[in-house]
Chains A and B, each alone.
With several copies, the nearest count.
Chain A
Amino acid sequence: MTLERWFRRKKPTKGDDDSSPVGLWLKCESCNAQIYRKDLVANLYVCPECQHHYQMPVDARLELLLDEGSFEQWSGHIQATDPLEFVDQEAYADKLKAAQEKHHRKDAIVTGSGLLNGLPVALSVMDFFFLGGSMGSVVGEEIARAVERAADEDRAFIAVTASGGARMQEGALSLMQMAKTTVALERLAEKHLPFISLLTDPTTGGTTASFATLGDIIIAEPKALICFAGPRVIQQTIKQELPEGFQRSEFLLEKGMLDDVLERSKLKDKFAAYIRLLSGKVPQVTLEAEHVATL
């Protein structure tokens, strides 16, 4: 179901308007090649021709990162309450309800536990198709709870982000989720458990400026847009064109902001390597035995 829904979208937009028809073929938005949709899905939503990384539905992301059948969902027990009774051209309450029904989840996030190459992990995956992956009270609380439970259960934590930023329909409460998710991470740090942040296209605004950039290791998918202020806002500020590749993963790697840019197919094994290495605490026994063996 989720994959089918994804097919209705051709390119990343606000995430609240996906009515384009389903077809068997699509034209790659990067290289213009005609791609058979099934091939794209089989290839992890990466264009087989040009390696363009499309956005990935949450279920596919969980499948990519976790060992088969190991996922146990934690999220879904809370929902938003429209604390501001926010209305613009449409009521937030209605919009939320529509999104919940369409995407079959309570909000723009899924959290849970699983095994990654046999290693116990917890993770949060944002759903960009659900109101643009925006972070309101529920997204913030789900992340905070998942991080804390990961700490309690001695699991490494992986955050997969895809978000338009804070959810403005919950006003300052959304803003506060930046601080909430940040302080929740203290629990993980106190237990010396690794936090790997995976930034995917697009990760912007309050999400980028909070937990997403606090990973012990920060990885991005190729050519993902990752920023605080979006390109349009900056263009309005500086009144000139932005340089090619600005605010994209490769640019940020060069600017020192990322540990690496990794292709989707390599993520799982790399994450396993990081987690294993970071768990290599100083052992009580010394290495003398091996030393003797080496000499």
Chain B
Amino acid sequence: MSLPFEKPIDDLEAKITDMRSYAEEQGIDLSEEIGLLERRLEQLKRDTFANITRWQRVQVARIAGRPTGLDYVANVFTDFEELHGDRTLGDDPALVTGLARLGEQTVIVMAQQKGRDTKENILRNFGMMHPSGYRKAMRMFDLADKFRLPIIAMVDTPGAYPGLSAEEQGQAWVISECIQRMSRLKVPAISLVIGEGGSGGALAIAVANRVLILENAIYSVISPESCAAIRWRDSSEAPQAAEALKLTAYDLLDLNVVDRVIDEPLGGAHKEVDATMAIVKSVLLQELGDLLKLDEVSLLEQRRARFRALGRFEEVLEAA
């Protein structure tokens, strides 16, 4: 559950624990020394995370033990009732959907779910959705519009499933339809990238009024591995590709791809899950509160304008 660059932190944490039990065993007072070490630990964490590379960030975003979609559903929301099925093709376990409360407000929550162990990974197809998952999302959009319930979508996927059955069932068609359908929502929509925002498979549920991202989450047009395989012809160049792709939370904020970065507890969301949940809940409550002030037309126009404006280019004088 630890990454190589986290080793010095883990070592120091272990040392402090050692010293504490030693002091207790021997009945001597080492509180001053321990206090000193704890301050050093905090500084070490701060320095480490301030300087980690984009590739290390990718690893944190994917680390086992990092809270998954269902963890947020369980801890940020209350009264969750899961709803199943797309009424067309199936029920995709890679996207969990249902009704829940965020504070006092009923919302429709959807979460891409990667799985928390090997068994769940397989059940959830590692968070890679099939067309039926996107159709389920669209069914939820319909329900949201009908009952005027805001949408909260948690994004965490390596990408839409690139398989035979998915292509046969029109993966491209259903993603474009999902993008369009979400852009037409008459209710507030917030998407939050909690881990990995993988390409079109992520975007399909992230055409929201507000797109948020956790500090150590990533959002990219392609995985660093695939990018490296294509552009460097060597997937082991993934660290370089991650650097080039500018896929971290603050990179994306600079590019206006996301609207807000939610800082994680020091050391990452997986180190302090409860604190992470509390922060996410308070941010979502505040963001939703703001959006609930807008009427249907404003919500639609704001969402449309937001995505219409994305991209970087310059005007030139002579046409070519």
Chain A residues in the interface with B (C-beta under 8 A): 73, 75-81, 83-84, 86-89, 100, 104-106, 136-138, 140-141, 144, 166-180, 182-186, 189, 192, 194, 205-206, 208-214, 216-217, 226-229, 233-234, 237-238, 242, 246-247, 252-260, 270, 273-274, 276-283, 286-288, 290-291, 294-295
Residues of B within 8 A of A252 (CB): 170
List CB contacts (< 8 Å) of B130-169 with chain A.
132, 135-136, 143, 146-150, 160-164, 166-169
Residues of A within 8 A of B286 (CB): 288, 291
Q: Taking the nearest CB of chain B, how far is it from the CB of A170, in angstroms?
A: 7
A260 and B82 within 8 A (CB): yes
Residues of B within 8 A of A270 (CB): 81
A189 and B311 within 8 A (CB): no
Q: Taking the nearest CB of chain A, how far is it from the CB of B208, in angstroms?
A: 10
Which residue of chain A lies nearest to B147 when distances are taken between CB atoms in the complex?
A278
**Pick the contact of B312 from A173, A209, A259, A277 — CB < 8 Å?**
A173
Which residue of chain A lies nearest to B182 when distances are taken between CB atoms in the complex?
A179
B311 and A173 within 8 A (CB): yes
A294 and B183 within 8 A (CB): no
Q: Is B25 an interface residue (CB 8 A)?
A: no
In the complex with contacts A78-B313, A192-B147, A256-B164 CB distance below 8 A: no
In the complex with contacts A173-B255, A277-B100, A283-B292 CB distance below 8 A: yes
- How many residues of B sit at the interface, in one of the four size bands? 35 or more
- Bound together, the chains give a CA A291 to CA B286 distance in angstroms of 6
**Pick the contact of A183 from B90, B163, B221, B308 — CB < 8 Å?**
B308
A174 and B148 within 8 A (CB): no
Which residue of chain B lies nearest to A179 when distances are taken between CB atoms in the complex?
B307
B308 and A180 within 8 A (CB): yes
List CB contacts (< 8 Å) of B68-107 with chain A.
79, 81-91, 99-101, 103-106
Residues of A within 8 A of B179 (CB): 178-179, 182, 209-210
Residues of A within 8 A of B136 (CB): 256
- Bound together, the chains give a CA A286 to CA B228 distance in angstroms of 47
Q: Taking the nearest CB of chain A, how far is it from the CB of B193, in angstroms?
A: 10
Q: Is B222 an interface residue (CB 8 A)?
A: yes
- Bound together, the chains give a CA A282 to CA B183 distance in angstroms of 19
B89 and A256 within 8 A (CB): yes
- 10 CB contacts below 8 A, A to B, read A79-B314, A171-B245, A176-B307, A179-B310, A209-B175, A210-B200, A229-B163, A256-B90, A256-B170, A278-B99
B282 and A238 within 8 A (CB): no
B257 and A256 within 8 A (CB): no
Q: Taking the nearest CB of chain A, how far is it from the CB of B60, in angstroms?
A: 18
Closest 6 pairs between A and B when the two form their complex, measured CB to CB: A280-B106, A229-B162, A137-B311, A76-B319, A256-B85, A208-B172
**Pick the contact of B313 from A80, A182, A254, A274 — CB < 8 Å?**
A80
B167 and A247 within 8 A (CB): yes
Q: Is B41 an interface residue (CB 8 A)?
A: no
Q: Is B285 an interface residue (CB 8 A)?
A: yes
A172 and B167 within 8 A (CB): no
Q: Taking the nearest CB of chain A, how far is it from the CB of B5, in angstroms?
A: 23
Q: Is B1 an interface residue (CB 8 A)?
A: no
- Bound together, the chains give a CA A174 to CA B166 distance in angstroms of 23
B163 and A234 within 8 A (CB): yes
Q: Taking the nearest CB of chain A, how far is it from the CB of B244, in angstroms?
A: 5
Residues of B within 8 A of A183 (CB): 183, 303-304, 307-308
Q: Is B230 an interface residue (CB 8 A)?
A: yes
B221 and A171 within 8 A (CB): yes
Residues of B within 8 A of A276 (CB): 79
Q: Is B219 an interface residue (CB 8 A)?
A: yes
- Bound together, the chains give a CA A163 to CA B213 distance in angstroms of 30
**Pick the contact of A282 from B105, B135, B240 — CB < 8 Å?**
B105
Residues of B within 8 A of A136 (CB): 311
List CB contacts (< 8 Å) of B43-86 with chain A.
79, 81-86
Q: Is B316 an interface residue (CB 8 A)?
A: yes
Residues of B within 8 A of A106 (CB): 316, 320
Q: Is B171 an interface residue (CB 8 A)?
A: yes
B148 and A283 within 8 A (CB): no
Residues of B within 8 A of A260 (CB): 82-84
Q: Is B281 an interface residue (CB 8 A)?
A: yes
- Bound together, the chains give a CA A242 to CA B104 distance in angstroms of 48
A84 and B150 within 8 A (CB): no
In the complex with contacts A78-B313, A210-B176, A228-B172, A186-B285 CB distance below 8 A: no
A237 and B319 within 8 A (CB): no
- Bound together, the chains give a CA A276 to CA B98 distance in angstroms of 13
Q: Is B259 an interface residue (CB 8 A)?
A: no
Q: Is B187 an interface residue (CB 8 A)?
A: yes
- Bound together, the chains give a CA A50 to CA B311 distance in angstroms of 42
**Pick the contact of B170 from A169, A185, A246, A257 — CB < 8 Å?**
A257
Q: Is B227 an interface residue (CB 8 A)?
A: yes
B84 and A84 within 8 A (CB): no
Q: Taking the nearest CB of chain A, how far is it from the CB of B236, in angstroms?
A: 14
In the complex with contacts A170-B312, A182-B183, A294-B281 CB distance below 8 A: yes
